[in-house]
Amino acid sequence: MKTQHDGNENINGDGNGNGGRRGISRRTLLARTGAAAAALAAGPVLGGIQPAVAASWRVPGEETPHKRTWMSWPSSYTIWGNLLSKIQADIAKLAKEIAKYEPVVMCADGSSAASQARTMCGSTVTVIGSVPVSDCWMRDTGPLFRLDGAGGVDAFGLNFNAWGENATSFYGIPASAYDKDRAVARNLTAYAGVPFAQAAVVGEGGGIEYDGDGTLMATESCWVNSNRNPGKTRSQIEAELLARFGASKMIWLPGVTGQDVTDGHIDGTARYIGPGVVMVQLAGAVRPDVWTENAQAMHDVLVNATDARGRRLQVLTIEGPDVLPRISRGKQSQFLSSYMNWTVTNGAVITAQFGDTAKDAAARTAIASAFGRPVVQLNLDNLYGNGGGGAHCVTMQEPNH
């Protein structure tokens, strides 16, 4: 495993400086140092997984200022086959757009992949070859950064296991193909010099939403699932997530099990705009009924929910596209037609456009109004279609500290 720094890897400044398999889709089956660091290094439990730290540590909301965005460069032919170059093109397009608003650090799997990423991403994106990666899903594999309100930063990992090993059961991708991604959270924080601990649950960042003000939202289908947390009750999982995120209330949403590789990640359907405000995408005409019904069920829970501060949530809605003119009819049911899978940057919200002129425009207007910042819509059809994930799935923000 490569650990030495390649050239062009200084990230400490804040300058803006499947073997031929076709149609693979992630959705196919359809610090403080001292006392805080010492606490993180407390005696191991559950086979070496460390207990959560209480106190004032919290994961800030994604709309708060960022130090940078972390991404990872896909370079595995075993995972992507002949689609690899198309996925790389979309990752590069997105990285260059984010870099207009905040620093981007792209982790690539060694010097050869790093060289390719630098060529495709250009000089505005910092590429490092010192944090080995398997694939591009940094939201699910990367660390979640916490602040203590007094200048301290630490991070934790969610023990990524390739979506409950669904990558193998759905697509036949060898479990070993994701070995480097299982260690990304730890390796990235070691590189960045941030204290780190593993959570006592298994899951992914795309399976949970947080407002930074005490409330979490998550889908039961992801977390209360034997492919991730066998033998654990919902209450046990909830307690650990609340402690890790520095929150006090969980809003559980139903989700969908077994219809996609993620078991129904929340970040394609319901997202926080900020404390007390959420947005839900009600499915357009191209989404299969199971996702349409799930979106409505999520909406119905949220309109009756209160958060950790006792506020009744303000629930905004948008609608998904009704047509996907660039996508063949046979692939539309597998396409992640979600405007919700946006990534928030310091200067803009970046999401997708799908070629449905009216719905694209309506989503852009609604998201811009909700956030009070510009919205950039990109054509990322290969990522959202062949990848089944979007801009949020392939990014992880590091908050200012």
pLDDT tens, position by position, 123-140:
999 999 999 999 999 999
Per the rule left: phi > 0, alpha: psi between -120 and 50, beta: everything else, 162 is left
Residue 1 lies in a domain: no
> What integer pLDDT is reported at residue 28 of this predicted model?
38
> What integer pLDDT is reported at residue 11 of this predicted model?
56
Q: Are 82 and 101 in contact (CB under 8 A)?
A: no
Alpha helices in 28-109 (DSSP H): 35-40, 77-80, 84-98
Q: Are 155 and 109 in contact (CB under 8 A)?
A: no
Q: Are 98 and 345 in contact (CB under 8 A)?
A: yes
- pTM here is 0.88
Closest CA to 331 of 354, 350, 359: 354
Task: Compute the mean pLDDT over every residue in the chain, rounded to the nearest whole number.
Answer: 89
Residue 130 lies in a domain: yes
Q: Taking residues 207-214, report their average pLDDT.
A: 98
Residue 200 lies in a domain: yes
Please classify residue 1 by burial: count the beta carbons closer than 10 Å to its beta carbon, then call 0-12 exposed, 13-18 middle and 19+ buried.
exposed
Q: Taking residues 332-349, report their average pLDDT.
A: 95
> What integer pLDDT is reported at residue 286 of this predicted model?
85
- The one catalytic residue in 107, 136, 222, 393 is 393
Strand locations in 153-308 (E): 153-157, 196-198, 208-210, 215-219, 249-253, 270-274, 277-282
Residue 16 lies in a domain: no
* pLDDT tens by residue, 246-298: 999 999 999 999 889 999 999 999 999 999 999 999 988 887 789 899 999 99
What number of helices (H) and strands (E) belong to the chain?
Answer: 12, 16
Residue 388 lies in a domain: yes
Q: Which residues pair with 350 in a beta bridge?
A: 343, 376
Q: Taking residues 327-344, report their average pLDDT.
A: 93
> What integer pLDDT is reported at residue 47 of this predicted model?
36
Domain encompassing residue 238: 35-399
* pLDDT tens by residue, 350-372: 999 999 999 999 999 999 999 99
CA 298 – CA 302 distance, rounded (Å): 6
> What integer pLDDT is reported at residue 1 of this predicted model?
32
CB atoms within 10 A of CB 44: 12
Residue 97 lies in a domain: yes
Residue 143 lies in a domain: yes
Please say if the pLDDT value at position 40 is more than 90.
no
User: Is 393 one of the annotated active-site residues of the chain?
Assistant: yes
* pLDDT tens by residue, 61-100: 999 999 999 999 999 999 999 999 999 999 999 999 999 9
* pLDDT tens by residue, 6-29: 434 555 544 333 333 334 444 433
CA 52 – CA 238 distance, rounded (Å): 12
Please say if the pLDDT value at position 315 is more than 70.
yes
- CATH code at position 158: 3.75.10.10
> What integer pLDDT is reported at residue 16 of this predicted model?
38
Residue 3 lies in a domain: no
Total domains, the chain: 1
